[in-house]
Chains A and B, each alone.
Chain A
Amino acid sequence: MGILAGVGASTHVDSATAGGSAVREALDNLAVPARLLVVFTTEHYDHALVLDAIHAAARATPLLGCCTGGLITPAGILPVGVGVLALGGDEFEVALAIAPGLSTTPTASAEAVAETLEAAHLDPEGERNNVALVFADGLTGSLAMDTAIQSAAAVLGPLCPLFGGAAGDSLNYGHTVLFAGDRIMSDAFVAAQISTSAPIGVGVHHGWRPASRRMAVTRSTGNLLYELDGRPAIAIYRELLPEETITEANFREISRFHPLGFVQAGSEPLVRLPLAVTDEGALSCVGTLPGDAFAYIMQGDPASLIEAAAYAAERAMVALEGNPPAVAIIINCVTRPPLLGEQRHTELERIRAVIGANTPFLGMYSFGEIAAADGPPAFHNKTVAVCVLGRGDG
């Protein structure tokens, strides 16, 4: 039977109706008993009612997911809605865990989740393919995300790479939640390990290119960047972007087109999005900054971003080595659609063209993406990550 998948989505305004409708559609499309549900919602719903409706239809099927900045579904990009991905078949095993305390105790939180997955012994001999779908609170935990990712990865090991994203909302920066089973939590870390004999492919790419000289990060701490080349970072932005009139108030509008990039071997630069200017003049970024590093101010355009999304899908598909894809999960940064405008639909079409027009998929717009390509896992900004599970039935 291999791995099978069904996807459902609803934009109904009523929470219970949206949850029930989405899960029924997913289960109908799956056509076999579901063994794992991935649920993405937007902040417009009463999440308890959504989950109650899903559980009523899917009974005790293991479930994980989160609130997002929008849904990516076969029915299109949905700024408001509930999306459900149902996985079934006999080709995989699942373990699931959630833990609170992401922002205050990221190591303990991530290790608790990873140790629960490890204790399930889904792949004791290390002979199967594994992926840990992970979701974490992107509103409370962006500063703790790197620590949590490294802590979980250390427990699970490199044979169980992490893939997922940070929960968020429609850029209101209000409140977000994560789901595991019937639990709904904020400031939490949730993961599901999928262990299968089917191949698993992951691709991650962003399409941003250096647009400045290389600059030394001469003063930074955590997610705060104070100085580049010994000068205030915002002064460097003003110098390198003279056509813009950059103020503390409009900085976010400028920086989303010009994030920071940190060079890395074997992959694109690690992108960090500066979101605001603090009272001390530091740029507050989404995620921690590498220490003693060199940075570029980056630029991108719709063409490069769309190309990157297609490339991420291609990299994921290459890993399947010809095995047909059973399902794809897409994690896309919530700041990319405003840059792409109407071309956000083109981005999705390019991904679908790569994974196959008939391949079921579900995606979310995230507050940061979690993925490992050919190396260690990382917390990304303004990036597309694609995970594809092969069908595995020969």
Chain B
Amino acid sequence: MTDSRTLAEREQELALLYEITAISKHIANEQQLFDLTLDKASRLLNSEIVVIYVRTGAEDELVARAARGVRLSKVAATLRLTTAQRHLLVDAQQDAGVILPQPLGAKYPVRVAMGIPLQREQVLLGWIYVARVRQTVFTPQEHALYLVLGEQVARALEMLLAWEQQRQQQAQLSQLLAEMQAANQRQATLLATINELAMPILSLDQRTLLIPLIGMIDHERATLIQERMLAAISTRRARRVILDISGVVTVDEVVLMALLNATRAAELLGATVILCGIGPEIAQAMVSSGVPLALKTTHDLRAALGLRV
């Protein structure tokens, strides 16, 4: 079979094909895709009316999103395609079988129309309706070009949908991260408050500080106790610090070492530390730990207050 087209006709067909296939390369957003699609389907391929439908969340419901040659407000706002209609491309208006959905009112005596499904891997993403009022046919070449246009638009639409999903996921992640950061911040504030409450530093007189400790003491808290105690000694110019550990449940070797270090550091600042309120269990633990105890200790607070330093 010989190709009767002239060189100029084939060059034009190639030019049309190149222009159509360029459509999915530089799409930044939906509006740009719609504008390009309307231009190609109407001006480039010479159809007076073009309506672009895009599938929304509802299964198989298509929503009119852009139009050329007719106002968007004048076309059917939503459509549903039957399975047969999804595969029907040209409505010759003489086939007694399946006919295309007609998005237009009676004002438009369409002579020939085409429905181009926008599909990716069997999933319907949208539908383009193109119609002619003056001409009565789509040539086989035009038919093929519209199909290529449909493939390109579907590809671009899929890409935009993927970007949109990614954008939404990123937004969700960002929100989650912000919530976590806020929760961490709240937790840190709460912890600071708890630490503050768990380790009040009371001035018994101008030279004596009382630090009652309660609850569990781990290495981290022991360090905090040391820092706060030294700061208080320095700012309040204390000479005597009574660490009341009668409310402490238990201490281990690491904590004992930390308290010992705190005592030595306090001495460097000119203050004496008295450890009071030692219960039997802690006394036993202190002895069996083997840590050398160069500490002043008393049984209770009264004794500590009476101790001369």
- Residues of A with Cβ closer than 8 Å to B? 126, 150, 153-155, 157-159, 214, 216, 263-267, 270, 290-294, 372, 374-376, 378
Give the Cβ gap from B103 to chain A, nearest Cβ, in Å. Answer: 14
Q: Which of A153, A265, A372 contacts B16 (CB 8 A)?
A: A265
B15 contacts A294, C-beta separation under 8 Å = yes
7 smallest CB-CB distances across A and B, nearest first, come from A375-B46, A158-B48, A266-B46, A158-B133, A263-B15, A292-B22, A265-B46
Do A154 and B43 form a contact, CB below 8 Å, given A126-B107, A292-B19, A292-B26? no
Chain B residues whose C-beta falls within 8 Å of the C-beta of A270 in the assembled complex: 43
Closest Cβ of chain B to A241, distance in Å, is 21
Contacts of A375 in B (CB 8 A): 42-43, 46-48, 132, 134-135
In the docked arrangement, what's the CA distance between A265 and B135, Å?
13
A150 surroundings in chain B (CB, below 8 A): 68
Q: How far, in whole Å, are A267 and B71 apart by their CA atoms in the complex?
A: 25
| Any A CB within 8 A of the CB of B179 | no
Chain B residue nearest in CB terms to A290: B39
Residue B145, interface by CB 8 Å: yes
Query: How far is the CB of B72 from the nearest CB of chain A, in Å?
Result: 8
In the complex, which of the residues B23, B35, B109 contacts A159, with contact meaning CB atoms closer than 8 Å?
A: B109
- Min CB–CB distance A229 → chain B (angstroms): 12
B42 contact set on A, CB distance < 8 A: 375-376
Is B45 in contact with chain A by the CB < 8 A criterion? Answer: yes
**B295 an interface residue at 8 Å Cβ cutoff?**
no
Interface of A is mostly: loop
Of A216, A263, A270, A378, the most chain B CB neighbours within 10 A belong to A263
Inter-chain contact A158/B44, CB cutoff 8 Å: no
Taking the complex as formed, is B252 at the interface, i.e. its CB lies under 8 A from any CB of chain A?
A: no
Query: Smallest CB–CB gap between A351 and chain B, Å?
Result: 23
| A378: chain B residues within 8 A (beta carbon) | 43
- Residue contact A158 to B108, C-beta cutoff 8 Å: yes
Taken together as a complex, chains A and B put the C-alpha atoms of A325 and B108 apart, in Å, by: 27
B30 within 8 A of A: no
B70 interfacial contact with A, CB 8 Å:
yes
A372 partner residues in chain B, CB cutoff 8 A: 48
> Least Cβ distance of B259 to chain A in Å?
73
Asked whether A154 lies within 8 Å of B68 as measured between CB atoms, the reply is yes
In the bound assembly, the distance between CA atoms of A291 and B45 in angstroms comes to 14
Cβ–Cβ contact A153 & B19, under 8 A: no
Q: A264's contact among B25, B35, B43, B134, by CB below 8 Å, is which?
A: B43
Q: Look across to chain B and name the residue whose beta carbon is closest to the beta carbon of A267.
A: B46
Q: Which interface residue of A266, A290, A376 has the most chain B CB atoms within 10 A? A: A376
Are A374 and B68 in contact, CB atoms less than 8 angstroms apart?
no
Q: Are B48 and A264 in contact (CB under 8 A)?
A: no
Q: List 11 A-B contacts (CB under 8 A).
A: A126-B107, A150-B68, A154-B69, A157-B69, A159-B109, A216-B22, A265-B12, A290-B39, A294-B19, A375-B48, A375-B132
Docked pose: A154 CA to B72 CA in angstroms: 9
B36 touches A292 (CB 8 A): yes
Q: A381 to chain B: closest CB distance in Å?
A: 14
Q: Which residue of A lies closest to B11 (CB)?
A: A214
Asked whether B142 is an interface residue with its Cβ less than 8 Å from the other chain, the reply is yes
Chain B residues with Cβ under 8 A from A376's Cβ? 42-43, 46-48, 68-69
**Contacts A154-B69, A374-B46 supplied; 6 other A-B pairs, CB < 8 Å:** A266-B46, A267-B46, A290-B43, A293-B19, A376-B43, A376-B69
Q: Smallest CB–CB gap between A66 and chain B, Å?
A: 25
Report whether B133 and A265 are in contact in the complex, using a CB–CB cutoff of 8 Å: no
A157 touches B15 (CB 8 A): no
Report yes or no: A294 in contact with B109, Cβ–Cβ below 8 A: no
A154 with B71, Cβ < 8 A, contacts A126-B107, A159-B133, A374-B46 known:
yes
A291 touches B46 (CB 8 A): no
B54 to chain A, nearest CB (A): 19
B70 near A265 with CB under 8 A, answer no
Chain A residue with minimal CB distance to B42?
A: A376
CB proximity to A under 8 Å, residues B121-149: 132-135, 142, 145
Which A residues touch B145, using CB under 8 A? 265
A378 to B11 Cα, complex, angstroms:
23
Expressed in whole angstroms, the minimum distance between the Cβ of A257 and any Cβ of chain B is 21
Question: Which B91-122 residues have C-beta < 8 A from chain A?
Answer: 106-109
List A contacts of B68 (CB < 8 A).
150, 154, 376
Q: Is B256 an interface residue (CB 8 A)?
A: no
How far apart sit A270 and B145, CA to CA, in the bound complex (Å)? 19
Shortest C-beta distance, A156 to chain B (Å), equals: 10
Residues of B within 8 A of A126 (CB): 106-107, 109
Establish whether residues A294 and B45, one from each chain, have CB atoms under 8 Å apart when the complex forms.
Answer: no
Determine the chain A residues whose CB is within 8 A of the CB of B36 once the complex forms.
Answer: 291-292
Bound together, the chains give a CA A290 to CA B68 distance in angstroms of 15
Question: B52 on the interface (CB 8 Å rule)?
Answer: no
Residues of B close to A292: CB separation below 8 A: 19, 22-23, 25-26, 36
Question: Which residues from B are CB-within-8-Å of A293?
Answer: 19
Contacting A at CB under 8 A, from B1-42, are: 11-12, 14-16, 18-19, 22-23, 25-26, 32, 35-36, 39, 42
**A154 nearest in chain B by CB position:** B71
Residues of A close to B46: CB separation below 8 A? 264-267, 374-376
Quick one: which of B37-65 are within 8 Å of A by CB?
39, 42-49
Tell me the complex Cα distance, A374–B111, Å. Answer: 13
Picked from A155, A157, A265, the residue with its CB within 8 Å of the CB of B45 is A265
Least CB separation from A296: chain B residue: B15
Whether B43 contacts A158 by the Cβ 8 Å rule is no
- Give, as a whole number of angstroms, the nearest-CB distance from B22 to chain A: 5
B222 neighbours in A (Cβ, 8 Å): none
Contact between chains at A157 and B108 (CB < 8 Å): yes
Chain A residues within 8 Å of B45, by CB: 265
Docked pose: A318 CA to B71 CA in angstroms? 30
B18, closest chain A residue (CB):
A294
Residues of A within 8 A of B106 (CB): 126
